[in-house]
Amino acid sequence: MEERRIGVYVCNCGTNIAKMVDCEAVAREAEQLPGVVAARSYKYMCSNPGQEMIQQDIRDLKLDRVVVAACSPRMHELTFRGALQGAGLNPYFLEMANIREQCSWVHEDARAATSKAAALTRAAVKRVVFHEPLEKRYVDMCPATLVIGGGVAGITAALELAGADQPVYLVEREDHLGGNVARVDLTAPYLDSARDILAERIARVRENSNIRVLLESEVQQVTGFVGNFTATIRTGRDGEVATTEARIGSVIVCTGYQPFDAARVQSYGYGWFPNVVTSFDFERMLRSGRIVTDKGAPPRYVAIVHCIGSRSQEFHPYCSRVCCMTALKYAHEAKSALPEAYVYDLYIDMHAFGKGCEDFYRRSAEIKTIFLMYRKGSAPEIRQAGPKYDCEMLIRVNDQLSGEEVDIPADLVVLMVGMESREDAGKVARMVNISQDKDGWFIESHPKLDPVATTTDGVFIAGACQAPKDITDSVAQARAAAARILGKIARGRIEVDAVFAEVDEERCSGCRMCNELCPYVAIEYDETKKRSHVISALCKACGTCVASCPSGAIKARHFTDQQIFAQIEGVL
Amino acid sequence: MDFEPKIVGFLCNWCSYTGADLAGTSRIKYEPNVRVIRVMCSARVDPTFVLKAFEQGADGVLICGCHPGDCHYTEGNYKTMRRFPLLKRLLGDYGIEPERVRLEWVSASEGHRFAEIVNDMAAKIRAMGPCLARPALTEDPAQR
Amino acid sequence: MAILANPRLVGELEHYGAGDVVKCYHCGNCSAACPFSKEPFIFPRKSMRYLQMGLEDKLRGNLEPWLCYYCGECSEQCPREAEPGEVMMSMRRWLTAQYDFTGISKLFYKSWKAELSAIVAVALLTGLGFWWWGATHGDIRHYDGPQAFLASSFVHAFDWIMGGVLLALLLTNCARMWWFSMGRSRINVPLTEYVRRAWLLPVHFLTQKRYRECEKKRPWAVHLALMLSYVTMLVLIMFFLHAFQEGPEISWPHHSLGYLATIGLIGASVYALRGRIRRSETHYKHSHETDWIFLILLLYVAVTGIVQHALHRFGAGHAANILYLAHMMGVVPMLVLEVPFSKWAHLAYRPLAMYFSELQGAAILAREKSAAPAVRARAA
């Protein structure tokens, strides 16, 4: 092996490292290691003078490898890689030793901390010897997008993409577009008609030649990788089935939510009392313009109960977010249809965030909705009213704001059923390779900074499949996802990380053990060669296959066996 | 001089390494016995890494990954979980007590947990004494 | 046992001026802002809650509205403009109607036309009656002396009969108030306590000391002046009427007090009327019809009273007698209709509520004290 010329830079980080680690001693010890031509300790390595010092050494001392012993690589690895690149060195010729987060900040014995820092630095020096130059890779981007789900999010995303003249496949399971919004009468808080919101957009979808709408269809399979997916879509029910193969570059999952099954909560008697209905049953009444009890008479007392299945330890701990304002919407609609009726609203907390919502809450109070606050864990109980009452049912509520237990009259009870992830969301998740949280919602790439992307490149999520969401937020997320995709399309090609696994076909025995293990289905078996190979654009570099290969034929770039062995030697 | 065990820690990049960094940013103090090697996923930990560590003189090996269900690579940690009993059996063949290797789940938000695990492991291995299996590992298998 | 809620209660109270109660969302700023609100009577939020929920019985036995003097602090702090001060005021009106068993009070509060008609009717009846009596028993040109048109002995007797009837009505209402708030309450107050703390009644009545705890002192001063003037006048008329109708010389011991009381009555009622017209203070922002009727009657009575006195002293007997008639046509409806059935009744209810609430408070504290060792023992 040719002789390496390694530079070692020990950062003091002001006093953050230096007060617990003798940085000079660490540098002196590193200087003794084979291949090290310079070892320096400096106050702030990440500062401009610090980086310039490294670059100067690279040029003057002809360094070919660099070790920075400083903070966590999660903090400044990219910074120092940039410094290397600036001095004309391959950025992957860098290794960092984490002597701040995992050393100076967590230890109290300076001697032990210094010896640990020296060991970590030694390990980095030994490892960096085996670092290989890696190059960024690019693949072509297919401009077509598959939108799964034709609800308000899917429709919006499709229109946004098609509006930029990009082809879209819009796949909907039902025989019509609109999703859950199509089941709704008015919307909160401005009481606009959901039908008006949808009808115009659906018409635009139908008119747009860039959008291919596939109704009564389901995506069967998605293979490939970012920019180069292939989707198999099945159309039609038993009997006449057609299959479409679509070449696409991106996927937006907009599969939405399903309403919570109210019958699961015993105390409300849903399914038992004919006049206990769910919010979706009530929407149907509102859309038909006839609010009536099972006897066909208009109710004199309407009670709306919040948080059915939501914010409960037994069912779903989360808030479904839209039900509070929907409940207030019902209060408005009931009061305007039945001015003589008394409307009760039974809530745990009124979540009136969002534009116009607090004002909507206030107006709901002004139209004499009677609000009662029940306690989480002490759900209201519904029972049949006796003949001496002028109502169908009585609801027993323990009101938190007065401390009183009261019976309220009710002829019609509306249960605000929460949102839950669809029963078959797991199937979708596996198909497009995205994760679900414990409640079944799809997980975004970053909860704050990247709420539309997923951990799978090229697969985006929008709408209530990610978490309970109202129309406004679903539309915003759908447009954001579309914008992200249009950005990728505009660039024409996609950068793929240099870190990935590769199979040495000479050593591969074709046992196919790795094929099954790969969570990204990134390893393909070539039937003619009887060898496996990694589709590098799909590979996320986890290294699962590398550790399992019985022939040692797979190499994890930048995490090779050789590099890690050297590191193990170094720390001990 | 008292025996101070050397422990090699293999930490997955996404959860456990970030968790260990969090222990640092939170200034949680723990024993300096563990030296960390970053891997992308706990499933990257090849059994030979562990053997290599013991051969090089480690007294213990700690493997940390994401909690089940939270793996950045969907299910890498399940593979680690299934591989781990086999690894212990293999180590037994070399006379290495199974208590010297440990598999733990540490999320990115569990700085405290990481510190507790390190302290606990350091104390237990300190009590066990140095690992004496090195000669068995370094001898040429052909001569066994 | 759960209470059956009455959703109609809010609609009912709307007639009394409590319409804004529906806006309340129970942040509790009002109770925090109120200088009088203290354990165990934290108001006005809880009273507002009883009303919103339609807990009629709770509200009927509630003394808290009477503990409020309507300084307006709560209404100013309310983030939702639910006007807690005005709601408390309305609850006082409603409670007045609840205490009154005849139903007349409810009728008046719900319909100002009914009240006005009743006033006009009583006034006409009074006028006719007194005219007939004067015409048959005296001479309209004489205000005093044996030929007086309305002899003080006659008016005095009339006053006492009327006073007796009104007192009986008011006491019945007070008894009902006691029953609603104390009698059927689960808080048991022993009779000895009633006696031991009886001194509170006259103290609260005469000083209105609680009102003074309010940050704004002027309303208290105006209210006290009005109340003391009124009581002074009542005492003068009930016991010393003859001194007013003799003359024309001025009987300074009596008249000086009478002048003071008149100044107090006119001053306070003009101040209040002007405030209500200009809506100058929070508690003047909302005016129920009964507030206007009450103030106008008061001013009318005070003005006619002093004018007839002046005419008499200046020797205009005929005119004085006509003014006297006009005066009585105001006084009688005011007393007959206002004392047991409307706003004037609060002069009895408020001190009573203060007294009752002190008794209740003491009983609650005593109960908590005696329960405390038991709780501690359980905990141990």
Quick one: A479 and A528 in the same domain?
no
Secondary structure of residue A128 in the 3-state scheme: helix
Predicted pLDDT of residue A450: 84
Cα(C185)–Cα(C62) distance, integer angstroms: 10
Residue C64 has which token pair?
């808290």
Same domain, A222 and A85: no
Tens-place pLDDT, residues A12-68: 999 999 999 999 999 999 999 999 999 999 999 999 999 999 999 999 999 999 999
B133 touches chain A (CB under 8 A): no
Question: Block means of pLDDT (10 residues each) for chain C, length 380 residues?
Answer: 90 94 94 88 94 95 93 92 95 96 93 94 96 92 87 91 94 95 87 91 84 80 90 91 82 90 94 93 89 94 94 90 95 91 90 93 85 64
The proportion of chain A whose per-residue pLDDT surpasses 70, expressed as a percent, equals 99
Same domain? A126 vs A248: no
**Is A513 a member of any domain?**
yes
Tell me, yes or no, whether A214 and A361 share the same domain.
Answer: no
Q: What angle do CA A18, A23, A24 make, to 5 degrees?
A: 130
Judging contacts by C-beta atoms under 8 Å, the chain B residues touching residue A435 are 74
| Apex A184 CA angle, A182 and A188, nearest 5 | 125
Q: Which class in CATH covers the domain with range C9-93?
A: mainly alpha
pLDDT in tens, A281-304: 999 999 999 999 999 999 999 999
Share of chain B above pLDDT 70, in %: 94
A42 phi and psi angles, rounded to 5 deg: -145, 155
Q: How many whole angstroms separate alpha carbon A249 and alpha carbon A488? A: 9
Residues A315 and A445 in one domain: no
| CATH class of domain segment(s) B7-143 | alpha beta
Q: Which residues of C touch A388 (CB under 8 A)?
A: none
- Residue-by-residue DSSP string for B47-80: HHHHHHHHHTT-SEEEEEEPPTT--TTSSHHHHH
Check whether A250 has a pLDDT greater than 50.
yes
A 397-416 → C contacts, CB under 8 A: 399, 401-402, 404-409
Domain ranges (residues) in chain C: 9-93, 104-362
pLDDT of residue B1: 53
Round the average pLDDT of chain A to a whole number and report it.
Answer: 93
Coil, strand, or helix at residue A41?
strand
Å from A16 to nearest chain C CA?
47
Does one domain contain both A464 and A510? Answer: no
Write down the pLDDT at residue C251. 84
Nearest-by-CA chain C residue for A364: C23
Give the number of domains in chain A. 4
Asked if C7 lies within 8 A of A366 by C-beta distance, the reply is no
Q: Are residues A359 and A229 in the same domain?
A: no
End-of-domain residue from the set A396, A420, A444: A420
**What is the predicted pLDDT for the residue at A536?**
82
Q: Using DSSP, state whether A442 is helix, strand or coil.
A: strand
The pLDDT assigned to B136 comes to 73
Check whether residue A519 and residue A537 sit in a common domain. Answer: yes
Same domain, A75 and A59: yes
Boundaries of domain holding A548: 501-556
How far does the CA of residue B26 sit from the closest CA of chain A (Å)?
8
Q: Does residue B142 have a pLDDT over 60?
A: no
B and C adjacent (3 or more CB pairs under 8 angstroms): no
pLDDT tens string B29-87 = 999 999 999 999 999 999 999 999 999 999 999 999 988 877 878 788 999 999 999 99
Mutate to test the interface with A, among B4, B36, B90, B118 (most CBs of A within 10 A): B36
Q: What is the ipTM of this complex?
A: 0.95
**CATH classification of the domain holding A481:** 3.50.50.60
Are the C-beta atoms of A482 and A161 separated by less than 8 Å? Answer: yes
Give domain status of residue A30, yes or no: yes
Residue A17 contacts residue A100 (beta carbons within 8 Å): yes
**Residue B140, pLDDT above cutoff 60:** no
By the 10 Å C-beta count (0-12 exposed, 13-18 middle, 19+ buried), C99 is classed as buried
Chain B residues touching A73 at Cβ < 8 A: 38
Give the closest-approach CA distance of A118 to chain C in angstroms.
Answer: 58
Task: Report the residue of chain C nearest A360, measured CA to CA.
Answer: C23
pLDDT in tens, A162-189: 999 999 999 999 999 999 999 999 999 9
Cβ neighbourhood burial of A174 (10 Å; 0-12, 13-18, 19+):
middle
Across residues A508-514, what is the average pLDDT? 92
CA angle A335, A337, A342 (to 5 degrees): 35
pLDDT band, very low/low/confident/very high, at B144 (cuts 50, 70, 90): very low
Rounded distance between C-alpha atoms, residue A443 and residue A455, angstroms: 8
Tell me what the mean pLDDT of segment A392-405 comes to.
Answer: 94
Asked if residue A448 is part of any domain, the answer here is: yes
Q: Do chains B and A touch by CB distance (3+ pairs < 8 Å)? A: yes
Q: Has residue A490 got a pLDDT over 70?
A: yes
Q: Which of C23, C50, C55 sits opposite A366 (nearest CB)?
A: C23
- In this prediction, residues A505-527 reach a mean pLDDT of 90
A565 is a domain residue:
no
Whether the pLDDT of residue A563 is over 50: the answer is: yes
d(CA A45, CA A56): 13
CA A360 to chain centre: 31
The shortest CB-CB distance from B40 to any of A72, A113, A541 is to: A541
- For A:327-366, CB contacts with C below 8 A are 342, 344, 350, 361-362, 365-366
In a domain, A248, yes or no: yes
Neighbours of A, requiring at least 3 CB pairs below 8 Å, are B, C
The domain limits of chain B are 7-143
**Residues whose CB falls within 8 Å of the CB of residue A282, separated by 6 or more in sequence, listed in order:** A291, A330, A414
